[in-house]
Amino acid sequence: MLLELIQGTEGGGLIIIQDSINYSGRHLLMSFINAALKRDEVVHLLAFELHEEDLKHELDHSCFQRLTFHNAFQDPLGWNEQPPFTVHQFITKELDSLLTPTHLSKPVTLVIDSFSWILRHLSPPSVCKTLQRLKKGGAVKTTLGLLHSDMHHRNMVGSICHLATSVVTLVPGHQCHEAVAKTIRRAKSGTISQAEERFSFNEDMSVKVQSQPIQVGAPQTDAGDAEVDPTANLTFNLRLSHQERKAKEKLALPFVFSKEKKSALLHSGPGSGRILYEPDANDDYDQEDPDDDLDI
C-alpha cells in the first residue's frame, strides 16, 4: 500500500507521515517528492525544517528544476528583515497566492515539512481549517506533510490525523537499514484499509518493500460472540455414576487412621526389632522434668 501511495494511484488528498525521534521520516518524504516530480507533477515545497542546500543532495538534479522551493527555514518568525515566508502566513489566502502562478493543466502537490513547526505556533483549529480547505479543492491535488508525533499532545496529533486521507506511521525495523510503515487509508466510500510493511531505500531514493503487506483488514467478528460451553471437550469426567460413587466411598484414604492400621503398627510381626531400655543407677530420670540434669 505504501508503494501505491508513493506512486499516487490513490488520487490525492491529505497524506501525513508520522515519525518520531527513533526514526526520521524525511527520507520517505524525499521519495514521495521524487516520485511526484518524475510523474511530471508541479511540486511546491514549504520547508520549515529543511535548507535548500540539503535538498539538492537528496533529490535528482533533473527533477530539481520543476520543484518550487518556499524558504520558510531561514526566517519563520520574522526576526530578521524581509522574511521569505513566516509561519503566520500559513492561511488559505496566502497559500492560494503562493500556488497560483503554476501551470493549470498539471496536478499540484504541496509538501509541508513539517506540520510540527506550524502546530507549535498556530492554534490547532486554524491549522485544521486551512488543511481542510486545501483538501476540499482548489489548485492542490495532494497535500503531503511530515508530523513529529512525539512532540505534541496526542489529542492534537489525533485531530490532524482525522483530517488525513492517509496516515503513514514510521517505526524503526529490526535491521538498521529497514523501517516499518503502518499505513491507514480512508477511501472516498468510507472504507478503511490498513497495512503494515517493512521497507528500505534503494540507491536512487526509491522505496523497496521487503515483505508482502500484512493485511489487517476488517475487524474479526467471531471472537466472543457465541457462548462456548467450557465443559464440552474435557479429558476427564465431571459427574459420577452410582457404581463409581460406591467404589469411591469404599476406598480408605491413606491419612485416615483406622483400628486395623493401628494394631498392625503396634504389634509388629516376628523378626522385627524392638527397643529395650534398662535405666542405669546413675540415671536420674525424672518424668516430670527431662532436662533436670542440665546445668543451666
Partner 1 sequence: MFAELNAILNTSPDSFKQGEFILVSDRRADASFLVHHFLSFYLRAGCKVCFLGLAQSFSHYNAVSQRLGVSLTQAKEKGQLLFLEGLKESLDVLLGRTSDTGSRALDFLRDPAVGLRCLYEFVQASVSDSGDGGEGGGGPPVLLVDDLTVLLSLGVSVGSVLDFSHYCHATVCSQLKGNMVMLVRCEGEEDEDEDGDEEGSERLLKGLTHQCSLTLHVQGLPTGFCRDIHGQVEVCWRKTQKDKPPNQKKLFQYKVHDKGASFFARGTSSAVL
Residue ranges that bind partner 1, judged by CB under 8 A: 21-24, 27, 49, 51, 53-54, 58, 73-77, 79, 116, 120-121, 148, 150-154, 172, 176-177, 200-201
Closest approach of Cβ 53 to partner 1, in Å? 7
- Of 193 and 200, the one with the shorter C-beta distance to partner 1 is 200
Cell of 6: 508513493
Rg (CA), the chain: 39
Indicate the pairing of strand 42-47 with strand 166-172: unpaired
Closest approach of Cβ 71 to partner 1, in Å? 10
What is the CB neighbour count within 10 angstroms for residue 194? 16
- Of 55 and 63, the one with the shorter C-beta distance to partner 1 is 55
Closest approach of Cβ 153 to partner 1, in Å? 4
- Of 64 and 201, the one with the shorter C-beta distance to partner 1 is 201
- Of 82 and 105, the one with the shorter C-beta distance to partner 1 is 82
User: Measured at the alpha carbon of residue 61, what is the angle toward residues 60 and 62, in degrees to the nearest 5?
Assistant: 90
Closest approach of Cβ 82 to partner 1, in Å? 14
For 7-10, which contacts have Cβ atoms below 8 Å and span 24 or more sequence positions? 7/35, 7/39, 8/35, 8/36, 8/39, 8/41, 8/142, 10/165, 10/166, 10/185
Closest approach of Cβ 63 to partner 1, in Å? 18
Backbone angles phi, psi at 140, to 5 degrees: -85, 130
- Of 99 and 179, the one with the shorter C-beta distance to partner 1 is 179
